[in-house]
Amino acid sequence: MRSQDIFEQQIRSLVNLTQRWHATGGADKALEVRVRDFVSMELLGRGNADVIARALGELNDAEADRLSAMVNHCSQTFYRTDAVWNAFAVPVAVRWHMQRHRLYIAKGGGNEYLKELAAGIRQCVGAQVVMLDRSIYCAKALYMADARKLHDHLQNLVLGPQRFTAALPTMALRSASEPPWRMVYFLGVEVTGKNAQRRLHDPGVRDALQSYLHLGAEALTMPKTSTFDLGAHGDTVCHHPLYLQEAIRLGEKALRGYRLRQLLEEIAKVEKSVTLYYAFNSLGYSFDLLLYCRLAVY
């Protein structure tokens, strides 16, 4: 059989499985597992989404939405033989300033604080293992990481460094030419049983995690090599850990809020009355914001 024939057969197989699963309203667990295993094999085994992309084009909107949701799931949740690895992230917002014009650079967090935070997360969600990477990452690097590279990175966390695995690109916090507010992410992995539920988004778990969030901030501000010993000062806010894509959405939304609030605070120093106008930009899938006020010119 020609390779093109095999490719077309794989497309038809995925389309058929998805349509049958969708016809049950997603209730057929056996079909769900078959679709999940198919998608995981494409993302991890082959390392590309060519079959998935073609299949999406042959499904109706509702069926394509269901398959897309499975692709997103399999891009951050990995099913091993005896366990499930869930990628998650801890967003930390920082607004740091320097004294005496000292320069700083921070590339990661304190290991002791991150270990304590990981232990708190494991206790709250009831996972077998929870581990956090010491490096810090930007939203783009985590969002753009393909499933295979992310899986290999989590494998390095759980099992130790493996040969021939490329590392995810990290970031650094620097003192020069940076925006007032920045958002960094600690990447983690939650190891659970095959049938365990993902619980980081549960309200009860979020309430329980509240008492551990200070550790995420202290991981950046309290280590012995902390830039705060060099004269840095400012705000460091640790947000709730969430599964990877949800954490990125939360972190970037919060970042826009921090920056907008700071802008309004600066305007309010010279002008008490500020009017906000906004419009939805359908092409950019974003909001265009207009601030109106009267500023005296001297």
* pTM recorded for the entire structure: 0.85
Same-domain pairing of 39 and 168: no
Q: What is the mean pLDDT of residues 272-291?
A: 67
Specify the DSSP class assigned to residue 211: G
Q: Which of 74, 98, 121 marks a domain boundary?
A: 74
Q: What is the mean pLDDT of residues 220-225?
A: 72
Rounded alpha-carbon distances, angstroms, from residue 128 to 19, 54, 86, 131, 200? 35, 37, 12, 10, 14
Decide which of 96 and 183 is more confident: 183
Q: Which of 12, 43, 74 marks a domain boundary?
A: 74
Structure tokens at 100: 């005496």
Same-domain pairing of 20 and 107: no
Residues 14 and 9: their CA atoms lie apart, in Å, by 9
Give residue 260's pLDDT.
Answer: 82
In a domain, 261, yes or no: no
Structure tokens at 293: 């006020």
- List, for residues 33-42, the tens digit of each pLDDT value: 999 999 999 9
Work out the pLDDT band at 222, boundaries 50, 70, 90.
confident
Q: What is the mean pLDDT of residues 185-203?
A: 93
Same-domain pairing of 85 and 139: yes
Cβ proximity of 250 and 91 under 8 Å: yes
Give residue 25's pLDDT.
Answer: 94
Same-domain pairing of 9 and 151: no
Work out the pLDDT band at 298, boundaries 50, 70, 90.
very low
Structure tokens at 102: 């000292």
Same-domain pairing of 36 and 87: no
State yes or no: pLDDT of 1 exceeds 60. Answer: no
Give residue 287's pLDDT.
Answer: 64
Residues 89 and 148: their CA atoms lie apart, in Å, by 17
Decide which of 44 and 132 is more confident: 132
Task: State how far Cα 234 lies from the chain centre.
Answer: 24
Question: Which residue reads 């280590």 in tokens?
Answer: 223
Same-domain pairing of 100 and 69: no
Give residue 218's pLDDT.
Answer: 92
Question: Which residue reads 């954490």 in tokens?
Answer: 247
Same-domain pairing of 193 and 94: yes
State yes or no: pLDDT of 291 exceeds 80. Answer: no
Same-domain pairing of 112 and 219: yes
In a domain, 22, yes or no: yes
Give residue 296's pLDDT.
Answer: 46
Give residue 40's pLDDT.
Answer: 93
Same-domain pairing of 89 and 64: no
- List, for residues 118-177, the tens digit of each pLDDT value: 999 999 999 999 999 999 999 999 999 999 999 999 999 998 877 666 778 999 887 665
Q: What is the mean pLDDT of residues 5-12?
A: 86
Residues 92 and 110: their CA atoms lie apart, in Å, by 14
Give residue 297's pLDDT.
Answer: 41
Q: What is the mean pLDDT of residues 68-88?
A: 94
Give residue 178's pLDDT.
Answer: 62
Same-domain pairing of 118 and 185: yes
Which of 27-36, 112-121, 156-165, 208-217 is predicted least confidently?
156-165
Q: How many independent structural domains does the chain possess?
A: 2
Nearest Cα residue to 222 out of 212, 207, 232:
232
What domain range includes position 12?
3-74
Same-domain pairing of 61 and 93: no
Give residue 294's pLDDT.
Answer: 64
Give residue 93's pLDDT.
Answer: 95
Work out the pLDDT band at 43, boundaries 50, 70, 90.
very high
Side chain identity at 111, as an amino acid letter? Answer: N
Specify the DSSP class assigned to residue 278: E
In a domain, 17, yes or no: yes
Question: Which residue reads 């995690």 in tokens?
Answer: 209
Same-domain pairing of 37 and 61: yes
Which of 39-53, 72-86, 183-197, 236-250 is predicted least confidently?
39-53
Rounded alpha-carbon distances, angstroms, from residue 295 to 6, 261, 290? 67, 18, 15
